[in-house]
Structure 1
Amino acid sequence: MPRPSLLFAYLAAVALALGIQWLVGGFSGVLLLAACGVIYLVGHQRHHRLTLKWVSHPTSAPPPDLGSYDEIVTPIYKYVRTRQNEYTALRELTNNVLSAAQALPAAAVTLDKSFQIEWCNAQSQRLLDLVYEKDKGYNIFNIIRLPEFFDYAQSRQWTRPLRSRREIGGQVCSLQFQLTQHANEGYLLLCQDITQLEKLQTTQRDFVANVSHEIRTPLTVLIGFLETMRDLPHEALTKEQRKQYEELMHEQAQRMLAIVADLLTLSTLESTEIVEGSNVQLAPIIDKAAVQAQSISRESHAFEFDVDPTLAVVGQMNELASAVTNLLTNAVRYTPEGGKITIRWARNEHGEAIFSVTDTGLGIEKKDIPRITERFYRVDKSRSRASGGTGLGLAITKHIVIRHNAKLVVDSEINKGSTFKIVFPENLVAHAPESTETKVVEDAGA
């Protein structure tokens, strides 16, 4: 419908033309009326042409004057703009959701009601060998050829995830599958690599079992002696026997105390961040640890020292002292009588500071080297317990080394001995005046 103002203008022109025709006569009124009609049609055609041009790009702003078409174009333009804003927001949301799905550490696959693949994220290629461009539209059972997965999917009992094993990159990995139905009668499949989680759970179970065993053993001995002393008449035991029992009980109690102390040390190392270190001269720490190691040795081993007294590193003195002591006492415990233990502290050609302990002990098999820093891991359980260690020394040393951004390097050969090195990077080596003076001491064993 034309605008009222245009209609009134047109009617006014008609009335004017009729008035002129009545007053003047002739064809003047008719000619004026025709001229007004032509002008109106030309304007209307122009508005129609502009409107058609705008319709081809309805998201752009319409021309400022469309005449009678304004009342049609304006609400259409407002509607289109509203829908466009909603579409833009929906597209951004969809992109954000897809980006989040791509960033998931798990494989995510959307399936239709026939288990045909609709979409999958990047992790699907690593865990399930799925490639979206190639596998879209394929049935998921043609890709994941695990009988247990097929049974799980067809059972529709998805309250619990399915765990299975699959070879990935030449290694057998543990995978966890979880299916969920969504609103569009399709399904969402999530698949996670839980290999490390299972290893962690196994380590946790082994740790609890080992702690229980390590503490139960001295407790059993302690209770046995106490029950013996309680049940026997006082005069049944000689003074020497009673003293021997008391010494053995004290030894077992000290063993339990050492285990608890090492566990607390490990807990502290794992749960706290290292504070800013200071320059630590390692030579005095090595001297003190050597005295303790020699007392354990009881002159049964030869000790050789090659220590740079000026060399220092940035770190925590107490933690470094613990690491040095653990390596020295381990060398004594696992080196037979008459063996040799060499301690070195110097810089190498790369500027790194290296503390090393080399023994001529029984050695460690290659397969055991990656695990010797695990808590309570023992290469030879009977030999380890006889040595008197808690099984936590190397685990503590490893944590201390990591906290100092250093490396623990182990080289060993069966029946020839082992070398344990703590390698401090050059940036941790404290600036100290260069000196060629070293300390060389030999303590021949008896």
Structure 2
Amino acid sequence: MTKTLITLGMWAAAAWLISTWAGETAGWALLVAGLVCMILVSARQLSQITRWTRNVDDPPPPSVGPWDDILAVVYRRLRRNQQELSDLNRHMDGIMLAAEALPDGAITLNEEMQVTWCNSVASEHTGLDLAKDKGFSIFNIVRAPEFAAYARQSEWPEPLLLHLSHGDTERSLLVQLTRYGDRQFLIVGRDVTQMEKLETTRKDFVANVSHELRTPLTVLAGFLETVHDLPPESLSDEQREHYYHLMMEQAGRMQALVDDLLTLSTLESSPSTAGTPVRLAPIIDHALRQAKILSKDQHVFVANIDPELQINGIEAELGSAVGNLLTNAVRYTPKDGTITVSWYKTESGQACYSVQDTGIGIASQDIPRLTERFYRVDRGRSRATGGTGLGLAITKHVAMRHGAELNIRSRVGAGSTFSLDFPPSRVIARHA
């Protein structure tokens, strides 16, 4: 404004000087010409300002007269606002990346319980597609009556355990709803499927151990009570010897179960090691002798053993796995059946220990569950021959600790083949 007044004063002074020299008409003409020039200059400056307002990110036009000071203040404010906005955007991007990186699912809702945002984990958990489902009620997406009842509460002091099915996937989610911001809601969902399975496994394990121990304990207690309550002269030496034999048998079952449980616990808790060179042939020979004793000469045994083949491993663990596979073959192969034991190096460089039988075979639906603790295809037959139901679980752990694979091939009525395939890195090269 000061510049404009100075310019106007200069034009007025010039017009007065001209009027004193060339007449009043000339003075007025010069003043009008000056005012027109000022108007034209102001119009040009306003035009430049107008063009600048279309893209305020650029610096303002230079030399726009009285507007210079105003535009400088406006531009500085715009630059500061842009910087603050940029910082806010970066901060928001960081928050969104952090939300995406969360191991838990997160869903934000407005006051009407409509979806406004979710991270990728929540999409995986619930099948929510933000591009399609944004703005829709969460109750149309999570169609579970227990969730609807939970979400419509006024307070949510405890999370909700929710079981959802998405395609072929069953999930257990621990869901917590909370308020935030201005009448907005946040749902946090944690996948506890594996934890729930582990808890179920733990409960089943305790129940199975209790059941497996209860049977021999009941039998043992019954015989002890009988022997204790009857007069000594009422039992013959043969009967007394028979009772003692049966009690020893039940005590042996409990001892075998405890031994297998301790073995399994050791395998699960101790760290894996590379081990030392082990010749498996003597271990297999020992297991064969034990299997023949268990068989009581009721089976035909065929052995194809490479006596020099060695692997790096832990001898005690390998002995347990070798013996378990042979013992199972004896238990599930009828009288006069054939059991073939092989230990050889494959063309691909692996070392393979296999036990093939002509037994009752296994149904295809049972094969994936064979390595579960206490799982038996034929419970009565296994118990009758002294099985604990832990042999294949132990064998699987031994295989994993040696980098091997436990492979099972079987058909009902056509026998089974169990094999431990050790990787070439475990096989010790023979010296010429």
TM-score surpassing 0.5? Answer: yes
Aligned to 1:108: 106
How high is the sequence identity, in percent, across the aligned residues? 51
Contact kept? 2:159, 2:177, Cα under 8 Å: no
Select which of 276, 279, 283 maps to 2:277: 279
| 1:95 positional shift | 3.6
Q: Is the 8 A contact 2:163 2:170 kept in 1?
A: no
Amino acid at match of 2:385: S
Q: Which residue is 2:330 aligned to?
A: 332
1:36-435 to structure 2, matched below 5 A, reads 93-158=91-156, 159-166=158-165, 168-433=166-431
Q: Per-residue displacement from partner, 1:117-140 (whole Å, max 9, x unpaired)?
A: 121111233222222233322222
The CA distance in 1 between the partners of 2:326 and 2:96, in whole Å, is: 55
TM-score normalised by the chain length of structure 1: 0.76
1:310, 1:433 within 8 Å by CA — same for their partners in 2? Answer: no
CA distance in 1, matches of 2:255, 2:191: 40
**Gap change, CA 1:57 and 1:371, over 3 Å in 2:** same
1:106 is displaced (CA, Å) by: 3.4
Taking only aligned residues, the RMSD between alpha carbons, in angstroms, comes to: 4.2
Deviation at 1:322, TM superposition (A): 0.9
Residues 377-432 of structure 1, C-alpha deviations (whole Å, 9 max, x = no match)? 11121111112011111000001101111111101111221100111122222111
Secondary structure class of the residue paired with 2:366: helix
Per the TM alignment, residue 103 of structure 1 is displaced from its structure 2 partner at its CA by 2.6
Structure 2 partner of 1:21: none
CA distance in 2, matches of 1:100, 1:405: 37
Which stretch has the larger CA shift, 276-285 or 368-377? 276-285
1:111–1:338: structure 2 CA closer, same or farther, 3 Å change rule? same
Question: Aligned residue for 2:25?
Answer: none
Query: 1:283 deviation in Å?
Result: 1.2
Superposed structure 1 runs of 4+ greater than 6 Å apart: 55-60, 72-89
Q: Separation in 1 of the partners of 2:253 and 2:220?
A: 11
The one-letter code of the counterpart of 2:162 is R
Q: Does the C-alpha gap of structure 1 residues 78 and 372 become closer, same or farther in structure 2, counting only changes over 3 Å?
A: same
**How many aligned residue pairs are there?**
411
- Which range moved further: 102-111 or 252-261? 102-111
Aligned residue identity for 1:311: L
Identify if the C-alpha distance between structure 1 residues 296 and 111 changes in structure 2 by more than 3 Å, giving closer, same or farther.
Answer: same
1:51 corresponds to: none
C-alpha change, 1:116 and 1:243, in structure 2 (3 Å) is same
Aligned-residue offset at 1:193: 4.0
Report the TM-score, using the length of structure 2 for normalisation: 0.79
Q: C-alpha displacement at 1:273, in angstroms? A: 1.1
5+ residue gaps, structure 1: 1-54, 61-71, 435-446
Per the TM alignment, residue 278 of structure 1 is displaced from its structure 2 partner at its CA by: 2.0
Unmatched 5+ stretches in structure 2: 1-52, 59-69
Structure 1 residue 261 displacement after superposition = 1.3
Distance 1:73-1:293 versus aligned 2 partners, 3 A rule: farther
Deviation, structure 1 residue 175: 4.0
Cα deviation, 1:164-206, whole Å, max 9, x if unaligned, reads 332x233444444332222432111123444433332222221
Distance of 1:428 and 1:153 partners within structure 2: 56
Query: Secondary structure in 2 aligned to 1:165?
Result: strand
| Residues 235 and 142 of structure 1: CA distance in aligned 2, closer, same or farther (over 3 Å) | same
* TM-aligned CA distance change 1:100 to 1:312, over 3 Å: farther
C-alpha separation between the residues in 2 aligned to 1:171 and 1:407? 27
1:165 aligned partner, one-letter code:
L
- In structure 2, the CA distance between the partners of 1:76 and 1:216, relative to structure 1 (3 Å rule), is farther
How far apart are the structure 1 equivalents of 2:80 and 2:260? Answer: 67
Change (3 A) 1:291 1:93: farther
Distance 1:161 1:233, change over 3 A: same
CA contact (8 A) 1:362 1:415 kept: yes
Q: Deviations over 1:34-67 (max 9, x none)?
A: xxxxxxxxxxxxxxxxxxxxx999999xxxxxxx
Counterparts of 2:367 and 2:232, CA distance in 1: 51
User: Which amino acid letter does the alignment assign opposite residue 354 of structure 1?
Assistant: C
Paired residues of 1:124 and 1:131 also in contact (CA < 8 A)? no
Q: 1:428 to 1:92 in 2, by over 3 A?
A: farther
Aligned counterparts of 1:86 and 1:299: Cα–Cα separation in 2: 89
SS at match of 1:155: coil
